[in-house]
Structure formats: structure tokens, C-alpha cells
């Protein structure tokens, strides 16, 4: 399957600070990147969709000014959680899409805001 690298795998930050999460597709080019989050014992919820070189499209209820997405190249997308608060603590997962049938996800980043 495709190789997707997400970094960091876990991060603890202080309330009010910003955290950047990177997602790289190592062996394919991703024209579209999907970002999900998963609260404990919940399902994955789509946060936003971004196309390379374009602004991201956010799902209803997701604040675009809080979750900044950059998709500057076909192999790298970043999600920045700005002014993080404890309620932002979650598991964030990326999915770079190369247009095929199979859908591979990053390993996830567990964010804990204290």
C-alpha cells in the first residue's frame, strides 16, 4: 500500500499555544488531502478537504481560523491548531488522496492540550 507519514505521533502543548502537524505522502503525489479528528471512543469526523495550491474547504462546525491547513505541495500538507485549548485534545489523522480506489491514512497525531 501507499506510504503516508504523519508527524508528530503525539504532542502535549500548553493552552494558548499553536501546534503544527505534518502529513507526507512518501511514494505518491496527493492532489487532495483530507484531515480528520477522532475524539475518544468516537468515530473519525472529517474536518476539512484541501487541494494542492488552493484554500481548504471546511466541514460545518469546524473553525477555519483555528485549524489552518496548508497544502503547498503534492507530497506535504500541514494542519496547525492555533491557540489550542483542552477541548481541542483529540486524535488527528490525515488522508492524502491520489485518486485511486484504496484510501490510506496517516498514523495519526494525538494532541493533548494542558
Partner 1 sequence: GEDVEQSLFLSVREGDSSVINCTYTDSSSTYLYWYKQEPGAGLQLLTYIFSNMDMKQDQRLTVLLNKKDKHLSLRIADTQTGDSAIYFCAERDDKIIFGKGTRLHILP
Give the residues lining the site for partner 1 (CB under 8 A).
1, 6, 34, 42-46, 49, 93, 95, 101-108, 110
Q: Rounded CA gap, 111 and 32, in Å?
A: 23
Task: Find the shortest distance in angstroms from Cβ 95 to partner 1.
Answer: 7
Task: Find the shortest distance in angstroms from Cβ 44 to partner 1.
Answer: 5
Q: With respect to partner 1, which residue has the nearer C-beta, 45 or 72?
A: 45
Task: Find the shortest distance in angstroms from Cβ 73 to partner 1.
Answer: 22
Q: With respect to partner 1, which residue has the nearer C-beta, 70 or 97?
A: 97
Q: Rounded CA gap, 27 and 106, in Å?
A: 13
Q: What SS3 string covers 49-96?
A: EEECCCCCEECCCCCCCCEEEEEEECCEEEEEECCCCHHHCEEEEEEE
Q: With respect to partner 1, which residue has the nearer C-beta, 5 or 82?
A: 5
Q: With respect to partner 1, which residue has the nearer C-beta, 47 or 83?
A: 47
φ, ψ of residue 41 to 5 degrees: the values are 60, 25
Q: Rounded CA gap, 100 and 20, in Å?
A: 28
Task: Find the shortest distance in angstroms from Cβ 16 to partner 1.
Answer: 26
Amino acid at each position: 500500500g501507499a506510504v503516508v507519514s504523519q508527524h508528530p505521533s503525539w504532542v502535549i502543548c500548553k493552552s494558548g499555544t499553536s501546534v503544527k502537524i505534518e502529513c507526507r505522502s512518501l511514494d505518491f503525489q496527493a492532489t487532495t488531502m483530507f484531515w480528520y479528528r477522532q475524539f475518544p471512543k468516537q468515530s473519525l469526523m472529517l474536518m476539512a478537504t484541501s487541494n494542492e495550491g488552493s484554500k481548504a474547504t471546511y466541514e460545518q462546525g469546524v473553525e477555519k481560523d483555528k485549524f489552518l491547513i496548508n497544502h503547498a505541495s503534492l507530497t506535504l500538507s500541514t494542519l496547525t491548531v492555533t491557540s489550542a485549548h483542552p477541548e481541542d485534545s483529540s486524535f488527528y489523522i490525515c488522508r492524502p488522496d491520489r485518486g485511486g480506489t484504496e484510501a490510506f491514512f496517516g498514523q495519526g497525531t494525538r494532541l493533548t492540550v494542558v
